[in-house]
Amino acid sequence: MSDSSDPAGRFAEAARVTRLLYATAQRARDDFTAAVADLGLSSAMARTLLLLAEPAPMRTIADGLGCDPSYVTGVADDLESAGLARRVAGTDRRIKLLELTAAGHDRRSDVQTVIGQHATVLRLDDAQRAQLEGLLQLLVAPPA
Amino acid sequence: MSDSSDPAGRFAEAARVTRLLYATAQRARDDFTAAVADLGLSSAMARTLLLLAEPAPMRTIADGLGCDPSYVTGVADDLESAGLARRVAGTDRRIKLLELTAAGHDRRSDVQTVIGQHATVLRLDDAQRAQLEGLLQLLVAPPA
DNA sequence: TATTGTTATACTCTATAACTATA
DNA sequence: TATAGTTATAGAGTATAACAATA
């Protein structure tokens, strides 16, 4: 380990851990994508299924996915084509709710099962995962 | 905390920590991009500068960036336009080495300094960062 | 024939802007 | 007039395939 008080040492230390952080996040993404691909789902479709415990407006789904509403249109189309969801009118008729079909609920349950079995972070035991969570929270917390 | 032995509980636990992992990696990326933008550099340019302690072939740079060699062409063009690097012929004349100019070495040093000051992971103290590194290594290690 | 770097092109993901139908 | 969703388009980032020069 290098002396973290000198500038070059601090950089090297940061670079090493940052690279590892990127690699881990990428690994988690790849594992998720592979797991849901086995269920015939794109990553976006799977994430949207997970948001739909209850019917939700397109706008709410966009917020949940962290994307623009225009992007949700295509994902909703894909889920409808696959027979996993349907659009239904809200009481405010500008709003369309996306609602899972019976098959959609089943598939959503399948996603939860496979992710609960194969999620990358579950390679850690409960204590390790709690430790990881605490450290990550420090990193994403607003500046002190 | 939910009972991690039931499928729904395991999924919820995994989802929570995974989301946090994604958010942290994104935060680290955003911080890096912002820090090097202040130096007039794109993220790709900054990463390439960091690889060029010594002149290196395009192919080697591609491996370092984890991208296709065709992508390096544009990054090298950008660095040349900015007067930070130049292409020089290798002894094998198929090979072009990318070599930093004096200004390029200075800028590379600036990048190391600002990252050593502002890297997201440096918000953790040495012990915490060592702990994080150990946990992440468990996650990216090949399956047992 | 195989390899390096480049070019031209295409693909994925996602956003912006303009449009419609309500409100 | 403001908002929800859609459409068409554009952009960033990156890869693939074909090519010229060299080995």
Nearest CA-CA distance, residue B92 and chain A, Å: 32
B2 part of contact set with chain A, CB < 8 Å: no
Give the closest nucleotide to B74 (alpha carbon vs C1'): C6
A96 touches strand D (CB under 7 A): yes
Beta carbons of A94 and A58 less than 8 angstroms apart: no
Nucleotides of C under 7 A from a protein CB: 3-8, 13-18, 21-23
* CA separation, residue A23 to residues A48, B93, B98, B138 (Å): 25, 35, 26, 12
Contact A135 B117 (CB under 8 A): no
Contact A15 B129 (CB under 8 A): no
Residues 6+ apart with CB under 8 A from A71: A62, A65
pTM: 0.93
Give the closest nucleotide to B62 (alpha carbon vs C1'): C5
At B52-95, the pLDDT tens digits run 999 999 999 999 999 999 999 999 999 999 999 999 999 999 99
A70 touches strand D (CB under 7 A): yes
List average pLDDT for each run of 10 residues in chain A, which is 144 residues long.
Answer: 70 97 97 96 98 98 97 98 97 97 98 96 97 98 75
Q: CA-to-CA distance for B117 and B47, rounded, in angstroms? A: 16
